[in-house]
Structure 1
Amino acid sequence: MRLDSFITEKFNLKSRTYANRIIKDGLVSVDSKTVTQPSKEIIGTEVVELIKKEAFASFGGEKLKKAIEHFNISVTNKFCVDIGCSNGGFTDCLLKNGASKVIAVDVGECALPNELLCDSRVSFIKFNARNLSLDQTKNPADFVCLDCSFISLKLLLKPVCDVLKEGREAVLLIKPQFEVGKKALSKNGIVTDKKAEEFAVVSIEEFAKNIGFIICGITESPKKDTDKNTEYLLYVKKKTHAIC
């Protein structure tokens, strides 16, 4: 049996998708060794364990935590929208910082852990964020956070603007590896052209300003491994009377 299928059954996880992601995050051990391959075959005699959880449902929570602390953001009693929720790091961080309600949006199958899905403050929507609007959120959000891969952030800025209240804030993760083009990447998807990276970040800031955001700040996002791409937490506020 595959490792992801095995731990889904053994630990009563929400889905194999969630199991797949926590394995890749290095949170599963087989015979005391961390395994990051979901397809690893398990025969049943191995000792398979979940490694002690991080502070949040995933490492993504550490990223949002840094933004909240660095920019002195309060989400207490706020209605929040988490775009690209994946396995719930941002959503978990929002709840632990006092959010009153979180709509968690992802284009893929739900990978939120059970403890988040069972929380009455959390609602999951499987939806392509490129088309997100008030039709899905029903009400404008007090705060939006976003962490999406394999898509340019420029394609998601208008939907963010559409669902955010005027004068309210958002934290958006800029991932240069999905902005710079293939020529600026190594075979492993690492940005090798730093000028292209800088241009991509500035280009996103300018695009955001042009559609109705004020740029309030930017900082590097935490990362687990030093050999991974540098990503950036962009802190913005929607202008009053913004026309997205």
Structure 2
Amino acid sequence: MMQAAPALHLEGVGLDFGSAPLFHDLDLKIGGGIMTVLLGASGVGKTSLLRMLGGLAAPDRGCIVAGDGLPLAGRIAWMGQQDLLLPWASIADNVMLGARLRGESPDRARMGHLLDCVGLAAHAAALPATLSGGMRQRAALARVLYEDRPVILMDEPFSALDSVTRARMQDLAGRMLAGRTVVLITHDPLEACRLADSMLLMAGHPATISAIAVPDGQVPRAVDDPSVLATQSALLRRMLQ
């Protein structure tokens, strides 16, 4: 059974890039059990923030803690911009990699179900080099879902997919990650409006973060929902300023 999904608190966080501060005295509360989507221009610091949340980088000042007061280590699954599949392992073994590294018995039934969900059931025995970039990204999504962690960090997880497959994977992620604390980076306003329970826009140097109103309805929202389309247009106008 999945552990309770904690909120994430950034308290006075500072991070320097060379001699310039990327973040300065940043305070932010990310809600537990919901999907928070983070947008902003390239280079503003989105991936750096996500890496700090995941423990892959340490802030120069301040701290990041779970709202329940428990350690975050062991409760996070990560999906970066690159698929990071092991080239010598089959897609099935890549999906179950975490279990093998922890010395656990792999759950082949769960792996098979997830590969079927992402449309890769016929490629379980294939090596990553034989698949397209989009297929590899879907395999990486299956690996994250297999981990069943309460906190999920995703950096542009659907960027390599065509528009139809992207919409289908958004639907899948929206359904299967419900109840988890998810932080997802995207540059796509439509993706943000479909998936966000909470939407944040990062801008400036040093970066500040502001909340944006989300569309009505539950995640994943329909691509043609009038509220989604209206919010998408308003968000794009704001990002173009």
Normalising by structure 2, report the TM-score.
0.31
- Higher relative contact order (CA closer than 8 Å, sequence separation 6+): 2
